[in-house]
Amino acid sequence: MKILLNNTLSKKKEEFRPIKKGQVGLYTCGPTVYSYPHLGNLRAYIVWDVLKRFLDSEGLKVKHIMNLTDVGHLTSDADSGEDKLEKAAKKEGKNAWEIADFFIQVFKDNLKELNILPPSKFVRATKTIKEQIKFVQILEKKGFLYQTSDGLYFDTSKISDYGKLANIQNIDLQEGARVEKNKEKKNITDFAVWKFSPLDFQRDMEWNSPWGKGFPGWHLECSVMSQMYLGDTFDIHTGGVDHLPIHHPNEMAQSEAATGKLQAHYWMHNEFLKFKDGKMSKSAGTTFDLTDLEKKNISPLAFRYFVLQAHYRKSLNFSWEALEAAQTGLVNIVRDITGRKLGKKVNQKYLEKFQKSLSDDLNTPQALAVLQELLADDQIEDGEKMATIYKMDEILGLDLKNLVKKSLTFSNEEKNLLKQRQVARVNKDWNLSDQLRDQLKEIGIEVEDTKDGQKATRVNL
């Protein structure tokens, strides 16, 4: 099937043509592991998970690389401020290595809860320091760098089309005020590839290099890892729109300077998850994470469903009401399919319509509408309907098979209540039966009286 993807680089939807037939090299900028990933971050990883699953379902073998930023990301996103990990470590009374280990595990656990497939390889920035130093040496040899009192900088004026991804020259000039001015920089867009350790305190993470003790600039890791695992030029590079003004132009500039080749053919960016129309961001204190969902009894999969209801290039407003509505929507799907027999034959008409939606730049809201249309179609026999829905879910990743299983699994205590209600009905004790129905509802189980008897479904996912 012809797959159209919106390419930020060419600023249009383009047919996806892999470099090597049947294979895709995919790079996703990973998290900075200094705190709990917020729901905005997780939106990004859900979207790229669907992209990967979709490409895979189209018969393409996807090699997916994701970095884990455990060093070098400074609080300004540019080259000023503290290292986010060192700052978190200080605050928690731990060292940066402990912070990194802890939040890498949290991130991996979050992915599992959201049914996001892990990449082919996770790579920690601190595991590639040797390669990063070598990369800087190449840039230095080619004459792209200059030294200041705090580090080694990339001279962006040496790249004729610097910022081509988002025409950032204008954005950056406007935003210059936001970033603390570094008077030693030759151009406002120049960025550090290697920072020197401060003289007044010892960092937890620092390495010797030909330029002195220090640590790599934030953008370097992605250039190095993508080259190590996917080659000089690979197929698709993904990340959030916040990477458009700084991180991606810099990553691209240094990669292309080092190799003389285009780094990636397709660049894809997800829009923000917003809270009250502002970006959900850790630094602004307007973030929620999976632990907040748990407190409100909202399943991570309901959040996944919520994310898929919007197109990835549209910003999405977060509210508890919207999330609760998404949870109800998902529960309704689960209730609808629970108890239906599963066949083998997939309905091609619906499946093709579903795939066609996704092949139009990953139109997940439309794909979900096709799933709903199929659910409501009485002409399709149960077995075929279920086989098709599960096939669709291989891409959506709502984990419907498991949710159905879960909705039919009861604890002994719950089984006991259900049994008591059955007995009450046999005894025509309608008061007791109603009372038990309410009691069951309170613990998240709904009962329906059908001609075949009482049918119970768990409705809290």
Q: Which is nearer to Zn ion, 68 or 89 (CB)?
A: 68
Q: Which is nearer to Zn ion, 85 or 404 (CB)?
A: 85
Q: Token pair 């401060």 is at which residue? A: 198
152 binding partner (options ligand AMP, Zn ion, none; Cβ < 5 to 8 Å by kind): none
Query: What is the spatial distance between Cα 85 and Cα 91, in angstroms, rounded to a whole number?
Result: 10
Helices (H), 81-194: 84-92, 96-113, 129-141, 168-175
Give which of 210, 214, 220, 215 is closest to 253, Cα–Cα: 220
Stretch that binds Zn ion, among 16-24, 26-34, 171-179, 366-374 (CB under 5 A): 26-34
Q: Which is nearer to ligand AMP, 54 or 272 (CB)?
A: 272
Query: What is the spatial distance between Cα 399 and Cα 380, in angstroms, rounded to a whole number?
Result: 22
User: Residue count at the site for Zn ion (CB under 5 A)?
Assistant: 2
Return all residues near 371 (Cβ < 8 A) that are at least 6 apart.
333, 354, 389, 392, 396
CB of 137 to ligand AMP, least distance (A): 26
Tokens in use for 282? 């850790």
Query: What is the spatial distance between Cα 95 and Cα 83, in angstroms, rounded to a whole number?
Result: 12
Q: Which is it for the CA torsion 268, 274, 277, 282, positive or negative?
A: negative
Per DSSP, 180 falls in state: P
> Are the beta carbons of 116 and 49 closer than 8 angstroms?
yes
272 binding partner (options Zn ion, ligand AMP, none; Cβ < 5 to 8 Å by kind): ligand AMP
222 binding partner (options ligand AMP, Zn ion, none; Cβ < 5 to 8 Å by kind): Zn ion
CB of 280 to ligand AMP, least distance (A): 4
Which residues form the interface with ligand AMP (CB under 6 A)?
A: 29, 31-32, 40-41, 43-44, 239-240, 242-243, 270, 272-273, 279-280
258 binding partner (options ligand AMP, Zn ion, none; Cβ < 5 to 8 Å by kind): none
Query: What is the spatial distance between Cα 27 and Cα 381, in angstroms, rounded to a whole number?
Result: 41
CB of 85 to ligand AMP, least distance (A): 11
CB of 100 to ligand AMP, least distance (A): 12
Stretch that binds Zn ion, among 29-37, 123-131, 197-205, 293-301 (CB under 5 A): 29-37
32 binding partner (options ligand AMP, Zn ion, none; Cβ < 5 to 8 Å by kind): ligand AMP
29 is a site residue for Zn ion (CB under 5 A)? yes
CB of 47 to ligand AMP, least distance (A): 8
Q: Which is it for the CA torsion 251, 252, 254, 259, positive or negative?
A: positive
Q: Which is nearer to ligand AMP, 3 or 246 (CB)?
A: 246
Q: Which is nearer to ligand AMP, 277 or 413 (CB)?
A: 277
Q: Token pair 């197929």 is at which residue? A: 235
> Are the beta carbons of 461 and 293 closer than 8 angstroms?
no
Q: Which is nearer to Zn ion, 27 or 103 (CB)?
A: 27
298 binding partner (options Zn ion, ligand AMP, none; Cβ < 5 to 8 Å by kind): none
Q: Which is nearer to Zn ion, 83 or 399 (CB)?
A: 83
CB of 242 to ligand AMP, least distance (A): 5
Which residue's C-beta sits nearest to ligand AMP? 240
266 binding partner (options ligand AMP, Zn ion, none; Cβ < 5 to 8 Å by kind): none
Q: Token pair 């309608």 is at which residue? A: 430
Instruction: Please give the residues from 214 up to 243 whose contact with Zn ion meets the rule CB under 5 A.
Output: 222
Q: Which is nearer to Zn ion, 281 or 420 (CB)?
A: 281
> Are the beta carbons of 329 and 319 closer than 8 angstroms?
no
CA distances from 227 to 32, 201, 254 (A): 20, 34, 12
CB of 279 to ligand AMP, least distance (A): 5
Q: Where are the beta strands (DSSP E) in 163-315?
A: 191-196, 214-216, 234-240, 264-270, 273-275, 278-279
3-state secondary structure of 362: coil
Q: Which is nearer to ligand AMP, 271 or 361 (CB)?
A: 271
Q: In which order are the strands placed within the sheet that holds 23-28?
A: 121-124, 61-68, 23-28, 234-240, 264-270
CB of 123 to Zn ion, least distance (A): 11
Query: What is the spatial distance between Cα 122 and Cα 391, in angstroms, rounded to a whole number?
Result: 27
CB of 251 to Zn ion, least distance (A): 5
CB of 316 to ligand AMP, least distance (A): 8
Query: What is the spatial distance between Cα 92 and Cα 86, in angstroms, rounded to a whole number?
Result: 10
Q: Which is nearer to ligand AMP, 264 or 436 (CB)?
A: 264
> Which positions touch Zn ion (CB under 5 A)?
29, 222
